[in-house]
């Protein structure tokens, strides 16, 4: 079963939060969206489970077009029959960091954004969910490898499906300018060594 599927498919995957670092007003967030070349057990209908793997570079083509800016951050994804989810923030950039797909974003200073910051601090909201459009997949025995895809949206969620990723850090964009110490952020930067403030 090595034939590649060219049929487009929209899939949504949720990731539990792995590590939370709160800094300042906690509105600037770094999210780990998924790990490449890792087998995940997933289900599209809540009944039948299968193995899903993301090929390294699956999002590379879409990243080349806009650098990952312009994606809305919401609380939960849109669901048919329910009012459209109001954004709580937006992405500043999306990038591949070794074996991970990462996003940097900002939670807006709105009533919903304020509520979300508090729920993240209280560890009530513990997941991140990605909505993707998959262009190419390669089936294998018991599962499928996602070869090429585009991120459509990212949502914070209470339920997680993947088990290794999520919110890496929350921080204030104003801290470096104020010269305040940021030990948790410094630890994240040392681990990732990819983003600059």
Q: Which whole number is the average pLDDT over 128-153?
A: 91
Q: Which of 15-29, 87-101, 147-161 has the highest mean pLDDT?
A: 87-101
d(CA 33, CA 25): 22
For the stretch 73-128, pLDDT in tens is: 888 766 666 666 778 898 888 888 888 888 888 899 999 998 888 888 887 787 88
Alpha-carbon span 155 to 127, nearest angstrom: 8
In 3D space, the residue among 168, 194, 195 whose CA is nearest the CA of residue 23 turns out to be 168
Mean pLDDT value of segment 140-146: 94
DSSP state of 189: H
Asked if pLDDT for residue 197 goes beyond 80, the answer is no
pTM value surpassing 0.75: no
Is 149 exposed, middle or buried, given 0-12, 13-18 or 19+ CB atoms closer than 10 A? buried
**pLDDT, the chain, mean:** 74
Q: What percent of the chain is predicted at pLDDT more than 90?
A: 18
Per the CB < 8 A criterion, the answer to whether 171 and 21 are in contact is: yes
Residue 134, pLDDT > 90, answer yes
Q: What is the CATH number of domain 9-189?
A: 3.20.16
């Amino acid at each position: 079963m090595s034939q590649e599927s060219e049929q487009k498919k929209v899939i949504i995957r949720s990731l539990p939060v792995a590590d939370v670092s709160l800094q300042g007003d906690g509105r600037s967030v770094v999210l780990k969206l998924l790990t490449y070349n890792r087998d995940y057990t997933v289900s599209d209908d809540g009944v039948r489970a299968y193995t899903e793997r993301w090929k390294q570079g699956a999002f590379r083509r879409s990243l080349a077009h806009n650098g990952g800016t312009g994606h809305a951050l919401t609380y939960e994804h849109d669901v048919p029959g329910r009012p459209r989810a109001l954004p709580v923030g937006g992405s500043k950039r999306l990038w591949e960091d070794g074996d991970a797909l990462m996003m940097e974003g900002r939670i807006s200073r709105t009533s919903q954004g304020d509520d979300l910051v508090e729920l993240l601090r209280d560890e009530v909201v513990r997941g991140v969910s990605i909505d993707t459009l998959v262009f190419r997949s390669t089936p294998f025995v018991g599962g499928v490898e996602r070869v090429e895809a585009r991120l459509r949206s990212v949502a914070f969620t209470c339920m997680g499906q993947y088990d290794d990723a999520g919110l890496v850090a929350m921080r204030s964009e104003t801290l470096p300018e104020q010269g305040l110490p940021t030990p948790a952020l410094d630890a994240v930067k040392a681990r990732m060594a990819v983003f600059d403030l």
